[in-house]
Every structure is written in structure tokens, then in C-alpha cells.
Chain A
Amino acid sequence: MIFPFLRGLASPRKAPVVYILILLNVAIFGISAAMSEKTQTSIDAILDNVEFVKTQGVLFSQEIKAHPHNFSSVLRKLSSDALTGNEDSLEAMGNLALRNNKFMIQANSIEPKGDLVAFKFWKQKFNRLLELQAAHPSYFMGITANHNSFESLLLYQFAHSDSGHLFWNMLFLLIFGVFVEAVIGSARMLISYLCAGIVGALTFALVSGYSFSPLIGASGAITGLIGIVVTLSWGYRLPFFYWLLPIRNYFGFVALPAWILIVVYVLPDMSGYLASVKDFHSVAYSAHLGGALAGALIGLSLRLKFQSRLERTLGEVYSRLPREVLRNSEDNQGHPSYFQRPTY
């Protein structure tokens, strides 16, 4: 386990924008959670209704059967299973239908075959679901196929659907945000952060296409911050906290090259993106990667201008760490080894 340790930068006085962003995110999360509680229960009630999901599965499968060329081979295979009456496949199709743009757009106009009464009640529930979703913070803040104006490109970055998602995003915003803010300044940091988020959303739209399940979360913007940190401090060593074993001397501080951040934080997004199958995953890896790319470009463009400020900031951080770490980071400039051994 390893993450950058930037003691001395993390005070609200030194990084006001980061703290404002965190407070904003938490506040929006709290408000939207309170607002959406009722809506969420109603939505869940509809989505938990097996009959609704199965009927939707039948309709989706029939639509795929009627227009097979419009859908991926995976969906074609699944739908043919569902049409043999396999209940699990029908349920799976019913759930996948909600993520499929083509279905969501046409759903109300598809001519159903079979149990017309069941379809009638499905349609009632389906339209109720659309209404509920329109009133749900995740949907009106997030980016969806029919909700992708410029405001939503900004707004989606502040919406989180669950507390775990929020916690990790805010933790990384704190870790990387304070460093970026210290080096390039508050205003530039804010603009870069928002830009990275916007580019992330646009990349997602370009690569995966907008979906009917909303794109939300600060992840894209935060990966952008990582990109900025990596390119800004390329060639320098950053202080890290490492933890190998719960034994003294096996956790502590170490100065490591900045590219470690790519290995530890950006490669997993890359893996996730490569491993994801369209319509079946829920993490927008492409948005993360887009954000990271935007951040890297921003970092590169600011690199020369802020070199001295970067060195000053790093010096400040190292000065607060145990003397040995600082010494190592100075002594080992240009050293061929990849890692510095910790001191004992």
C-alpha cells in the first residue's frame, strides 16, 4: 500500500479551494441523499418488481430479435436465451434494458407481442420510473443521453451516489489537490480540476457514448489532478507513505519518482477499461482516462513556469519529514535504482 504524503500542505489556509470543493461535494451529497430518499425508495420498488423486470426483458428481447443489427452480439445471444423462457435471462435482459439507449428511446413505441395486459402495466410503471428518475438528483445532476448540456458537464462532478464512492474520491482530492494547489495556485487548480472533469465526461461520450444510467462523480477530475501531479513533477521524487507489514520499520516514508503514480493509480483504470464489456459495467473508466490525459496536458503546459515553485513546495514537504527521507531524496538524485530503501 502506497500513497503520496504531503504533510504541511494540507491545511485549509494553504489549499482553500480543495477544502471548498470537498465541502461542496459533501454538502451536495447530503442534500441529494435527503432529497432522493423518497424517490429512491419508489425507484427501488419498481426495479425490485420481478414482474416489471421480466416483462421489460421480454420486450427488450423482442426488440433485439426484430432489429438484431442494432445490438451487440452479446445482447443478441442473451436475448435469444431469454426468448426460450429462461427466467434468469429474462431478468438479466430486463435489467440491461435500462442501460441500453436504443431501448430507452424507443421503449414507449415498441409494439409488444404476447401478454398485452402485462405490457400495459409495464408501460405504466416504466413511465412512472422515467418521471421518478427525472426528479432524482443523480439523474438531473449526472450526464445521461438526454441530459448533457454544458451545465451538466460541470454539475456531474459534484454528484455521488453512495458514501463509499464519496469517501474515496474526497480522500484522493485531498491528497493530490493540496499539492497541485500549492504549486500552481488556487484559481488555476480550480480551473484545471473542472476542465479535467469536463474532458473526462467528453471522452466518455466519445468512447462509450452517453448512457441512460447517469455519469456522476468527481473521479474524472481527480484522475486529472493525478495527471497534473505526474507531469509537473516528472523527474523529481515525491514523498510517499508506504505500508508493507504491520510491524515497526515496515511502514514509513520514502521518496519515489512521480511515475509510480501512473503505475499505482492510472494503470488500474486502463485495465478496467480494457476489461469492460459495453452495457455490463458500471465504472466509467474512459472518463477517468480522459481526465488523466487532460490533467497530463495541463501539467505539461505549466511545467516550466512553475518549476521553481514545485521545488520550493517539495522542499517544504521534505523538511517536515524525517531527516533521512529528505537526505535520501537529495543524495540519490540520478541514482540508477528505482526504489529507495527505507531507513532503519
Chain B
Amino acid sequence: MVIDDVGNSQKREPTQNHSNKSDSSEHSSAFIASPVDRLAAFMADLVVFLPILTLCLAPIKKQVLLAQIAGDNEKLLILGFVGAGVVSLLLVVYQTLFIGLMGATPGKKFLGLKVVNIWNKTKPDFFSAFVRSSFWVLSLCTFGIPWLAIFSNSHRRPLHDRAADTLVLVPDRKRASSSPGMVETSMINGLNAAIITFTILVFSVIFQSYIHDNKHLADTIVNSSEASTQRCESVTSAIGGWLGTEKQAPGRTEIALALHAGERIDDECLESEVTMNFLEEKDLELSYLAKALIKQDDEEQFADYIEKVCEKDEKTSGCSLLEYLQAQKSDAIHITDDAPTYLRIWAVRLNLERGHPQEAIAQLKNPAPHMDLAYYYSMKRLQAQLELKRETDINQDFLASLDGLNREERISLSRETCLAETQMGCSGAKLSCQKLLEFSTSFKTEKELSFENPQSVLAIARAVRCENKPELYEKFQSAVEIPAGRALLQALELKSKGKIKDAMTMLKSLSRQKELSEFRVESLALLSELSQKPAELESLSSEWGEEEPSSISWRYFGWALAEAYFNLGDYSRAFEVGQKLKDSGFNSVEFQKKLVVAAYRADQVEAAKELLVDLDALESETKVVERLPASSEKEANDLEEQLQKISEVLRASASSSAPDDKEEEKDL
């Protein structure tokens, strides 16, 4: 091929043509065609070419659809290549044929353009038409970038024109295009880079979205050929390591039901399990049971599924569970030891929900059948103990539960337990707070240690305070993300350093923040502890009155208040608050001991007597030797001693029904 500079001669051509009249009228007048004309010609070609192309591609398109349905990716790839081949071939044939025959494609003809050989200005032969078309298609394959040369080439000849030694002419002088000037050329050259980059970007985006769409289409019409099983993964992973507590190992559906009961998998997961069961027609009874549990909210369907479950035998455990649920009964559920795991968990759940924590604890006596359920068991046990207001039992369960939990679950369990145990001040704190600190400080980085929710900040604050490790305040402060939580830790740090006044100022401002109730109550309780004047306590007491009675925060705050009154020597107020707490169900041994002393010192002898009777009953019932505040061993011993005396005196007075010894005892 010759890339010849014919531009100069071309410019002179009109005069040449005029001088040479013998030349046929075929190119009597010829000027270089403008890029706009050529673009328009391309558009005109599309009008005819596209319908022909789609017709030729139709059988391939059908095969593509079939391959997509069949999920045959290999065939799709081959068809993609075949399709591209057909498009290229058609483009080459279309252009070669029309240029070779008529010297212009229909679109060019429509706009009066013609393709000529640069040497003799005649119609190109079939070979150069073929070369031109082939290079045109090659340019298309490179996103049409070579076409941009039409803006910079002096004769408007992009790659395909130069390769085939051709030139595109227009007969009309008005539409003639001059060679690009210096300005246009340099501007276009500058623009070219930008256009190329942009084009590549656009095409890559289009390409990617096309690939994505196609993938999505193939995915939605049908899955890919490597269809995995549609079982629920959480169940699959739980099957290994399942304790064979029952006589024979539980089936997959049973495990799924247990995990569902323990809120480890959701309805959707359980549903996909039973869908498979129904398709494979196995475990049908359990599957109906599962469906019933999923459809609990839809009365009609629920009833139908229950009917299906109870169809054969109304005495099956699943049937009775469903009937219990349907009737919305609230009596306690008792189950036998050989009942399946899922049923036991449902029993725990329902007993707890419907106010039978004692039964729930009884059903929790066996260890969890799987690691995944251990945490659920521990939390439910804790919840039950809290319901029973047996703060003292929590600790034993806590230690027993720690094994088999992962780190997050351990932290979570110790946090909840620590919060529960410190409901009556630090004296109740057993191992859980210590463990919480242990687990929390085992984190290496501060990022890992971040505390995002108020509960976790509160638990840490209590743990550090009750375990008496003030050096940790600073460490945790930097990890806490809630400003109020940081302020609380800061106040506690100040308190530990003896700066009581500063600490109180901080706590006061914290207690005014209504929206963070956890921190507000905590700071109010701490304020009562720090208060030295009865007037301060009075104002706090009125704050306590505004709390919702019997709520956890009310009890916590109340306990702190009672303690503060007691320590300040205002026994009648201490007794008053304590009585309210007791009425709300506060029944720890230590609390009652203090209450007896307070009552006695507040001259409420009759009340003290009654309390003493309750205390005896409570002690014999729980059989737990109460540990009194370790921080003040002496005070504890004193209290114990006093109580001993009081009880002796009261019992004596009860037998002689003469409370004359009162005077003597008051010196205590």
C-alpha cells in the first residue's frame, strides 16, 4: 500500500477536471468529503444494515438464549465469538460488495459520497474495497479509535483509507471539506488523547455492566451449571460437633429446628431446609412442624400445618408444642429428659417468656448440645436467674457457662452477668466483673477494644470500680466512643484519686443528660454514694421518685440511695427506701440483713421482727452463705454482730412480748 500525499493534487483537482472534459462525468467535480457527511452516511447505512444484521444474528441469538437457560457458559462463550465473527463478516461483505460494485455503500450513495482510488480517481477494485472494509472492521475492533484520524489527516483519510489507497469524495463544492488547518490538527491531536481515554473508560464501563447484566440474566433465568445444594449453611456447619445427647444422633432437620428454636438461624434458613425435605420427601413430619413454626403469624396456615403435624398422633411432642403455641397458653411447660433438643429449647424459651423462670432453669441443667447454642443457653440461664431475682446463683452458672464460648460470646456473657451482679452495688460482684476485665484487656489494640454501645461502657465502668483497678480507667477511656461514657470513666477516675468534688461536678452534669438513661442512673447512684449531706440525698431521693418503679434502673438507684442513707445514719429514710425495694421483690440475704438493722435503728421494732422472720425463711431456702462487702471486712463483721444481737433481743422480746430492752439496745 502506498500512503501518498495526494492532498495537493486533490486541491487542484477541480481545475484539472474542468480542463479535462473528456474525463467521464463520474467524477467531474470532486472534493474531499467532510467528517459530518461521512458520519451521516454511516447512520444512513445503519438503517439498512441493522435489520439485515439482526436477521443474520437471529439464530445465534436463539442459541444464546437456550445456552443461558441451560446455564452452559462454555457454549455462551463460543456463541459470543461466533456472533462477533458473523458481525465482522457481514460488515466486510456489505462494504466490499457495495464499494466494489458501485463505489459507495448505500449510505454514502444517499449522501452523494463516493470512494475512489487515489491514483486514477476511479472506483476502487474489489481487492482494495476488501482491504478497506477489513481495516474498517479492525478499527471498529479497537473501539473506532483509528477513525479519529479523519480529524487530523490532511486528506481526511483514516487508517482504512490509507491502507486501501482510497479517498472519499463529495461532488458538491459547498459541502467540501478543506484539509484540517494547523489549529484544527493540533486541537484535534490534543483532544485525541482525551477522547481515547474517555472512550476506553466508557467502553470498559459498558463492557463491565454488560458482563454483569449477562451474568445476572443467566443467574436469574437459571442457576449456573455448578448448582450447589440449597441447604442452609449454618445447619451444615453445626452438624459436626453436635453432642449426641439423645439415644441416636439427631437428624439434620432436628438440628435445624434446634438452631431455629435457639434463634441461631432465621425462618428463611429453616424454610430452605424444609423446602429441600419436601422435594426429597423425607423427614416430612418434622418439616411440617418447621413450617408450622415459620407460619405462626398466619393463623389460617398455622392451623392447617398443626393439623398436618397432629394428623397421625396427637401425643407427639411437636404436636403438643404447636397446640400450646396456638392456644397461647401461659402455664409452665414440663418436658421429659429424652425430649428432642429443639423441644427443650422451645420449652426454655416459652417458660421464660410466660413467667416460669424456675422451669426454664430446670430445663437448662444439661449442657448445650452444640457450641453454637452454648451462648444462647448461658444468656437464657442468666435471664432466668434475673427473673428469679436470685442474683447470687448467677455466679455459679456463669463459671459453668464460660467453657465452650468464643471470645466475643465470653465478653458478652461476662458483661451481662457483671451488670446483673452489680445491681446491688459492688458487694454482689463475683467473678464475672473480674473475668470481663480479663477478657477485655486481652485485646491488643485499642481499635479492637472499642466500646460502641452504652451497656458495654457501663459494664466496664462497674467492673473497674468494683474490682478496684483504677489504673485501668485511662486505658478504657481512650477506647470508649461515647462522650458520656468517657465522662463517666473520667469521673470514676477522679473519685478514685480522691478528687471527690470534681468527680461530683462531672457526675452532676452527666445526670442531667436525659437521653442516655443508662449513664444518668449510674451517675445518680454514684452521686448518692458520694453525698455527704442529707440535703443532697433528699434531692436525689426526689429524682428516684421520678424513675419508673421496679425497673432495673429504679432498683439500682434505690439500692445506692438506701446504702447512702444507712451510711449517713438516717436509718428511717434508709428503711423507707429499703421497704419499697423489698416490696418490689428485692430479696437478697445481705439486703435483708441490712434492712433489719435499719428498721431496728429506726425504732420500727415490729417491722424488724417481721423482716427477721422473712430473713430466716430466705436463708433456709437459698442455703447460700452470703458474703458481705469484702471492701469493709470490719464493717461487715460489725453488721453481722449487730444483727446477731438484734435478733436475740427481738426473739426474746417476742417470747416475753415486752419490748423493754429496746432502750439498752439502742446504744448499738
Residues of A in contact with B (beta carbons under 8 Å apart): 1-2, 54, 58, 74, 77-78, 81, 83-89, 92, 113-118, 120-121, 242, 244-245, 247, 250, 254, 260, 263-264, 267-268, 270-277, 280, 337-342, 344
Give complex CA distance A337, B48 in Å.
15
> Does chain A have a CB within 8 A of B308?
yes
Q: How far is the CA of A83 from the CA of B59 in the complex (A)?
A: 30
Q: For residue B175, which residues in chain A have a CB less than 8 angstroms away from its CB?
A: 344
Contact A115 B51 (CB under 8 A): no
Question: 19 A-B Cβ contacts within 8 A?
Answer: A77-B222, A81-B71, A84-B227, A84-B230, A85-B230, A85-B276, A85-B279, A86-B223, A87-B230, A114-B281, A115-B291, A118-B291, A242-B44, A242-B47, A250-B40, A264-B47, A267-B54, A342-B111, A344-B174
How far apart sit A157 and B272, CA to CA, in the bound complex (Å)? 45
What residues of A have a CB within 8 angstroms of the CB of B274 in the complex?
A: 115
On whether the beta carbons of B223 and A81 are closer than 8 Å, the reply is yes
Contact between A245 and B281, CB atoms less than 8 A apart = no
- Digitize B295-326: 1 where CB-to-A-CB distance is under 8 Å, 0 elsewhere: 00000110011001000000000000000000
How far is A120 from B305 in the complex, measured between Cα atoms in Å? 11
Bound-state CA distance A274–B172 (Å) is 43
A86 near B227: Cβ-Cβ < 8 Å: yes
Whether A85 lies near B52 (C-beta < 8 A) is no
Binds A, one of B62-70, B181-189, B593-601: B62-70
Q: How far is the CB of A133 from chain B (nearest CB, A)?
A: 24
Cα separation A304 to B537 with both chains bound (whole Å): 114
B498 CB to closest chain A CB (Å) equals 65
**Per-residue A-contact encoding for B269-280, CB less than 8 Å = 1, 0 else:** 000101110110
Chain B residues with CB under 8 Å of A244's CB are 40, 43-44
In the complex the two chains form, is B301's CB within 8 Å of A117's CB? yes
User: CA of A268 to CA of B50 in the docked complex: distance in angstroms?
Assistant: 9
Provided the pairs A88-B220, A271-B58, A339-B110 are in contact, do residues A247 and B36 lie with their beta carbons within 8 angstroms? Answer: yes
Q: How far is the CA of A264 from the CA of B220 in the complex (A)?
A: 33
B109:A338 contact, CB within 8 angstroms: yes
8 extra interface residue pairs, beta carbon distance < 8 Å, beyond A121-B300, A341-B111? A85-B229, A89-B223, A92-B222, A245-B43, A263-B51, A275-B62, A275-B65, A276-B62
* B106 close to chain A: CB less than 8 A: yes
CB contacts (< 8 Å) of A268 on chain B: these are: 51, 54
Contact of B308 among A1, A117, A337, A344 (CB under 8 A): A117
- B109 contacts A339, CB within 8 Å? yes
The answer, among A85, A116, A274, A342, for a CB contact under 8 Å with B62, is A274
Contacts of B308 in A (CB 8 A): 116-117
Across-interface contacts of B172 in A (CB, < 8 A): 344
Q: Does the CB pair B58–A272 fall under 8 Å?
A: yes
Contact (Cβ within 8 A) B111 A86: no
- Chain A residues with Cβ below 8 Å from B82 are none
B112 interface residue (CB < 8 Å to A)? yes
Instruction: Give the chain A neighbours of B58 by CB distance below 8 A.
Output: 270-275
Residues of the A chain whose Cβ atoms lie less than 8 Å from the Cβ of B62: 274-277
- Measured CB to CB, the residues of B under 8 A from A are 36, 39-40, 43-44, 47-48, 51-52, 54-55, 57-59, 61-62, 65-66, 69-71, 102, 106-107, 109-112, 172, 174-175, 219-223, 227, 229-231, 272, 274-276, 278-279, 281, 287-288, 291, 300-301, 304-305, 308
Instruction: Name which of B59, B223, B305 has the most chain A CB atoms within 10 A of its CB.
Output: B223
How many interface contacts (CB-CB < 8 Å) are there between A and B? 139
Nearest chain-B residue to A62 (Cβ)? B279
Closest to A2 in B: B47
- Chain B's closest residue to A75 (CB) is B69
Query: DSSP majority for the B interface?
Result: helix
Q: Nearest residue in B to A281 (C-beta to C-beta)?
A: B65
**A residues less than 8 Å from B55 (CB atoms):** 267, 270-271, 274
Is B52 a contact partner of A338 (Cβ separation < 8 A)?
Answer: no
Of A1, A74, A271, A276, chain B has the most CB atoms within 10 Å of the CB of A271
Closest to B221 in A: A92
User: For the complex, what is the distance from the CA of A74 to the CA of B221, rounded to whole Å?
Assistant: 11
Chain A contacts of B52 at CB under 8 A?
A: 263, 267
Given the complex of chains A and B, what is the CA–CA distance between A242 and B46 in angstroms? 12
A35, chain B: closest CB distance, angstroms: 30
Chain A residue with Cβ nearest B171: A341
Q: Which of B39, B174, B231, B279 contacts A114 (CB 8 A)?
A: B279
Contact at B223–A88, with CB atoms within 8 Å?
Answer: yes
- The CB with the most chain A CB atoms within 10 A, among B40, B71, B219, is that of B40
Which chain B residues border A242 with CB–CB below 8 Å? 44, 47
Q: Are B304 and A120 in contact (CB under 8 A)?
A: yes
B39 nearest CB neighbor, chain A only: A245
Residues of B within 8 A of A277 (CB): 62, 65-66, 69
- Which residue of chain A is the closest to B110 with respect to CB atoms? A339
Complex contact A245–B272 (CB within 8 A): no
Q: How far is the CB of A65 from chain B (nearest CB, A)?
A: 10
A209 to chain B: closest CB distance in Å?
A: 18
CB-defined contacts of B301 to chain A, threshold 8 Å? 117, 121
Which single residue of chain A is at the shortest CB-CB distance from B69? Answer: A74
In the complex where A117-B305, A341-B111, A342-B110 touch, is A88 in contact with B291 (Cβ < 8 A)?
no
- Among all A-B residue pairs, the 7 with the closest Cβ atoms: A85-B230, A114-B278, A274-B58, A339-B110, A275-B61, A267-B51, A275-B58
Chain B residue with Cβ nearest A341: B112
User: In angstroms, how far is the closest chain A Cβ from the Cβ of B630?
Assistant: 59
Q: How far is the CB of A145 from chain B (nearest CB, A)?
A: 23
A-side contacts of B222, CB under 8 Å: 77-78, 81, 88-89, 92
Alpha-carbon distance between A182 and B160 when the two chains are bound, in angstroms? 49
Minimum CB–CB distance for B57 against chain A, Å? 7
Contact B291–A87 (Cβ < 8 Å): no
Bound together, the chains give a CA A280 to CA B220 distance in angstroms of: 13
CA of A81 to CA of B72, assembled, Å: 13
A271 and B57 in contact, given A92-B220, A244-B44, A338-B106 (Cβ under 8 angstroms): yes
Q: Which residues of A contact B272 (CB under 8 A)?
A: 85, 87
Question: How far apart sit A85 and B279, CA to CA, in the bound complex (Å)?
Answer: 7
